[in-house]
């Protein structure tokens, strides 16, 4: 995946398996901190991250038109911030990536999926708070 260095703006390719290891920028050698916000991903990025990341991954399946999805946004962001370096949080727009929604039989949104080592650990549809999402990740 591509991470932008906050110090110099350089685009750095970071393997998903190393995303939480704080790799260094190829240009200025500054540390690239683990993501502290949800990552909006496509199918290729989804597959790369969920199969190679050494951390549990929370996936938020959502759509622009979905009211409950909008309510979940702040909760999902809080999980990403609170579990920085201990979990990754992905967002999948079901309108742009229906193949991912179909793969995981997403019939209602928001829909949350927890993955570890490329395997589905847990999945639930419906709005929940950040505490519940954190519990899912901590048990994964």
Active site residue 66: yes
CA distance 1 to 108: 28
What residues are paired with 60 via a beta bridge? 91, 112
8, 25, 28, 66: the active-site residue: 66
What residues are paired with 90 via a beta bridge? 39, 59
CA distance 103 to 106: 8
Active site residue 69: yes
CA distance 39 to 79: 12
CA 114, 119, 120, 122: dihedral to nearest 10 degrees? -60
Contact 7, 25 (CB under 8 A): yes
Catalytic site positions: 66, 69
């Amino acid at each position: 995946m591509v991470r932008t260095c906050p110090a110099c703006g350089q685009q750095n390719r970071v393997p998903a398996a190393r995303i939480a290891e704080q790799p260094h920028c190829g240009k200025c050698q500054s540390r690239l901190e683990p993501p502290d916000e949800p990552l909006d991903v496509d199918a290729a990025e989804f597959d790369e991250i969920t199969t190679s990341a050494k951390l549990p991954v929370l996936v938020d399946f959502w759509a622009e038109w979905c009211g409950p999805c909008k309510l979940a946004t702040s909760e999902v962001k809080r999980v990403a911030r609170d579990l920085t370096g201990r979990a990754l949080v992905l967002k999948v727009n079901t309108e742009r990536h229906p193949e991912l929604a179909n793969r995981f039989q997403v019939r209602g949104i928001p829909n949350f999926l927890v993955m570890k080592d490329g395997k589905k650990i847990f999945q639930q549809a419906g709005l929940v708070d950040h505490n519940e999402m954190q519990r899912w990740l901590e048990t994964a």
